Amino acid sequence: MPFQKTIKSEIALSGVGIHTGKRINIRLIPAQRDTGIIFYRTDKGLQIKAKLPFVIDTSFATTIGIDGVKVRTVEHLLATLYVFGITNLIIEIDGSEIPVMDGSAQDFVKLIMKTGIAKQGKTIPTLKITKPCIYEESRSRIVARPHKGFRITYKIFYEHPLILAQSLSIEINEQNFLKEIAPARTFGFLKDIQYLLQNGFARGGSLENALVLDEKGVVGGKLRFKDEFVRHKILDAIGDLSLLGYPVQGHFIIEKGGHTAHINFLKHLVESDCYELEEEPYFNFYLSVQTI
């Protein structure tokens, strides 16, 4: 079993929320073992655990919340924490959304690498997929299979000449994440902007923090990878899978997924007999989680 970890010193950063358009300040604060990942809304005086039962919305981002208080767009930061093995952290935030930074996880990676990671003297169980678990909804299909490591195979299709069908299968570890996944940016389509704005989304979106596509290609920028779109989907999936609350061992095959499909799959998984833990059963833990 891996050891629990936190960061060596505090990290402060600020930026714009891609959906709210508001300037937000956050602080990442080292936490004692067995704390977990906690978001603390300093403007509301309320804590929210980064756990599956606290997911309240999956529209264009993953949102966690309780008692009417929420934190949106948690997936990029959570993916970074997961890959570094950080299990205990207090995230103070003075607004309702994690800053989007440049649309990828690169800034979070750089800050955590700069401050360093502290191993704590207690282990954490690994959630191991023991037999295939299949989930299907609408056009999405997700399968988890036993695997000695943590691998994601992602397949997407968009009717756009720059995307069409893209797929990538990659072992998720620190080296691969830093090089192949963390730099991949969120993306959207110019034709959808009006709808998004009218419905309270993308108010902070710009060419500085997202890949925007018109009918032919990227508006005002260049791709970091030819298949940057599917790589970003993998980034999102890592962040969503981290909401299980444990390191994961398995191969996840995702076809035409998204935040809603990811979260619905996880709910299906924890109610199945397709996994095991080395300590207490996850299902009991899932039912008993509470806000600190």
Would you please indicate which residues are annotated as catalytic (active-site) residues? 259
Instruction: Report how far apart, in Å, the C-alpha atoms of 232 and of each of 135, 161, 287 are.
Output: 21, 18, 31
* E-assigned strand segments in 138-194: 140-145, 150-158, 164-171, 187-189
Please name the residue that has the structure tokens 């979260």.
263
25-55 in b/e form (b: 16+ CB < 10 A) is: ebbbbbbebebbbbbbbeebebbbbbbbbbb
Residues at the binding site for Zn(2+) are: 76, 232, 236
Q: What is the DSSP string of 215-257?
A: SSSBSSS--SSTTHHHHHHHHHHHHHHGGGSS-EEEEEEEES-
Helices (H), the chain: 75-83, 106-115, 174-176, 193-198, 228-241, 259-270, 282-288
| The token pair that represents 187 in the structure block | 């993306």
87-115 in b/e form (b: 16+ CB < 10 A) is: bbbbbbbbbbbbbbbebbbbbbbebbeee
> In this structure, are residues 241 and 82 in contact, taking their beta carbons and an 8 Å threshold?
yes
Instruction: Give the C-alpha separation, 89 to 95, whole Å.
Output: 18
| DSSP H or E run through 93 | strand 89-93
Residues at the binding site are: 76, 232, 236
